[in-house]
Structure 1
Amino acid sequence: MTGLRALFLLVPLCVAAQSSAAPQRQQPRPEIFTDLLQCRTITVDAERLACFDRQVGAMDAAAQRDEVVVLDKGELNKTRKTLFGFSFPKLPFLGGGDDSKEEAQAEEGVTHIQAVIASVRSLGYGKWQIGLEDGAQWITTEAMTARDPKVGQPIELKRAAMGSFMGKVDGGRAVRMKRIS
């Protein structure tokens, strides 16, 4: 009985120690960006300005060569919506990469999208390939029995259990769907 009591005391202590000792990991910044930030430490005004000019020029040149991309939060959310339905490894610039609660929530980011159907193609047996206005292609993995989807109708796609997706065309019954491109 004392061993079991010791186990009950040990588990909360381990959890508390792990949560308080876990450092907040931040993704490493690109060297070109850290070099720019280092310019702030220069105390002589003319040297600091020269450093900023040099580093901003280097950053601009890297952006021109597509070696550095700067996204604001709005562009990041737009990118997440465009990629909705694909499974990727945890990518830090899309909000993944760490297993902390905040990171897990950021990784999920977009849980559903609403779009307009741009193309439809029957696959037989009540299944459909549905193209959205943004170019995304989805297929139903189960039959749509109520009515056939049509170009111009609204569609809502939501994350479902275990990495699957559900789609509702024009407020109809939800069916399982899969993104193909």
Structure 2
Amino acid sequence: MVNSKWFFTGMLSATAAVAASLSIPAVAQETDRKKALTAPPAIYTDLIACKDVAEPTARLACYDDKVTALQTAQASNQVVIADREQVREARRGLFGLTLPRIKLFDGDGDEGEQIEAIEGIIQSARTIRSGKWLIQLEEGAVWQQTEPPRSTMRRPKAGDSITIERAALGSYLAKVNDGRGFKVKRVAN
């Protein structure tokens, strides 16, 4: 007769071992995906590799070839070259949107910080069927109120200043003219 306690424990151990072995490729794939998203493009690494060419004429030829390739890629929008201020402005414009995890938008590392709040001017504000506010900023971003409106809430209107900041659990809080805050989500542009 088989000891049922040992058999059950053995089955759990075997199941755990199979689950662990199946998760290893998933972890490796995620690591590879993260590396691919944060690694510099090949056209850049090829250019940097030219510095290792020992012979001066060959090194110059390498640089000329790779710089021409980089110029062509940049002119055809295959590669985008941006300075820190352009990256900050892009992050500000994308505040509130769900973005892919790439180094440009991360905010980790020394090339940038994560934006915690934006300030703007309301271009238009209107209520939608649910009675919630739909607010468009002058920059074009559209935000929608996510909680039922309060009777004490001041009506937002064109020309009002608005501050939208990160809140708990991935939510956002809007304040019109430094008034009482209300939760919003970005819905367009």
TM over 0.5, yes or no? yes
2:132 maps to 1:117: no
Q: Call closer, same or farther: CA 1:147–1:124 in 2, change over 3 Å.
A: farther
Count, aligned residues: 151
C-alpha displacement of 1:125: 6.3
Q: Which runs of 5+ in 2 are unaligned?
A: 1-34
Q: Deviation above 3 Å: which 4+ runs of structure 1?
A: 105-108
Alpha-carbon separation, structure 2, partners of 1:165 and 1:137:
13
2:158 maps to 1:147: no
C-alpha displacement of 1:30: 1.5
CA contact (8 A) 2:84 2:111 kept: no
**Alignment partner of 1:129 out of 131, 134, 140:** 134
C-alpha displacement of 1:67: 1.1
Q: Which has the larger radius of gyration?
A: 2
SS in 2 for 1:86: coil
Structure-to-structure mapping, 1:94-109, within 5 angstroms: 94-95=105-106, 109=114
2:56 maps to 1:55: no
CA contact (8 A) 1:138 1:180 kept: yes
Identity of aligned residues (%): 37
Q: Call closer, same or farther: CA 1:121–1:106 in 2, change over 3 Å.
A: farther
Supply the AA of the counterpart residue of 1:169: V
TM-score by length of 1: 0.74
**Alignment partner of 2:169 out of 155, 162, 172:** 162
Q: Call closer, same or farther: CA 1:64–1:70 in 2, change over 3 Å.
A: same
CA contact (8 A) 1:95 1:106 kept: no
CA contact (8 A) 2:84 2:112 kept: no
CA contact (8 A) 1:116 1:132 kept: yes
Q: CA RMSD in A?
A: 2.4
The corresponding residue for 2:56 is 45
Q: Call closer, same or farther: CA 1:65–1:166 in 2, change over 3 Å.
A: same
Structure-to-structure mapping, 1:7-46, within 5 angstroms: 27-46=38-57
TM-score by length of 2: 0.71
Higher mean Cα deviation, 126-135 or 166-175? 126-135
C-alpha displacement of 1:89: 3.6
